[in-house]
Amino acid sequence: MIDLPDEEKEPGEKYRQLEEVIARYEREPGQLIRILQQAQDIFGYLPEEVQTYIAGRLDIPVSEVNGVVTFYSLFHTEPQGKYKINVCLGTACYVQGAREILQEFRERLDLKAGDTSADGLFTVKSTRCLGACGLAPVLTVDEKVFGQFKRRDVAALLRKYRNRAEVKSGDQPVERPGAYQEGAPAGP
């Protein structure tokens, strides 16, 4: 099993882990996606140098690796925040103020050029319909769904996750803003 991403890990150690992955899969055809997934687990994202390294080791063009990386949304070429926030901009959410919510996140996190906050805690993106239109406006933080979210809830949500990041053991309860509801996405 491969270790989870570790920001403290030396680059040499990460490449050593990548070598293990490549050695495991290089003889099996069609394993590029699996290698890229595990490379992303190791490095946290897939920068150009990692793509080039993998292409060299598999003896395939870098363009082939890059084509796969850019095709699948699960791959990232930039560092990602500890928490991934996706604001739904589907029609039902949009008419309920989702764009203003997205803008509030971007202003509060001072996101001018990129999508990730300077402290590395948050990556904020927009997404299409999450299938929970009855809860509009909806956003997710990692796998968690927040429905009937309001622009005024943004500050409390960011505070909640900042507090969580500071909790070392990870098990203590964290105060919730309470002004919005969390729920599972509706079925198709």
Contacts to ligand FES by CB under 6 A = 88, 90-93, 129-130, 132-133, 136, 138
Query: What is the distance, to the nearest Å, from the Cα of residue 9 to the centroid of all Cα atoms in its chain?
Result: 20
Residue whose CB is less far from ligand FES, 73 or 169: 73
Compute and round to an integer the Cα radius of gyration of the chain. 19
- Give the residue closest to ligand FES by C-beta: 90
The CA-based angle 182-111-52, given to 5 degrees, is 100
Single-letter residue type at 69: V
Minimum distance of ligand FES from residue 154's CB (angstroms)? 17
Residue whose CB is less far from ligand FES, 50 or 138: 138
Q: b/e per residue, 53-75, with b = 16+ CB within 10 A? A: bbbeebeeeeeebbebbeeeeeb
Rounded to whole angstroms, the Cα distance separating 129 from 90 reads 5
Rounded to whole angstroms, the Cα distance separating 69 from 159 reads 33
Minimum distance of ligand FES from residue 71's CB (angstroms)? 24
For 47, phi and psi rounded to 5 degrees? -65, 165
Minimum distance of ligand FES from residue 151's CB (angstroms)? 15
Minimum distance of ligand FES from residue 135's CB (angstroms)? 7
Residue whose CB is less far from ligand FES, 109 or 130: 130
Residue whose CB is less far from ligand FES, 52 or 91: 91
Kind and range of the H or E element at 92?
A: helix 91-94
Residue whose CB is less far from ligand FES, 101 or 138: 138
Minimum distance of ligand FES from residue 95's CB (angstroms)? 9
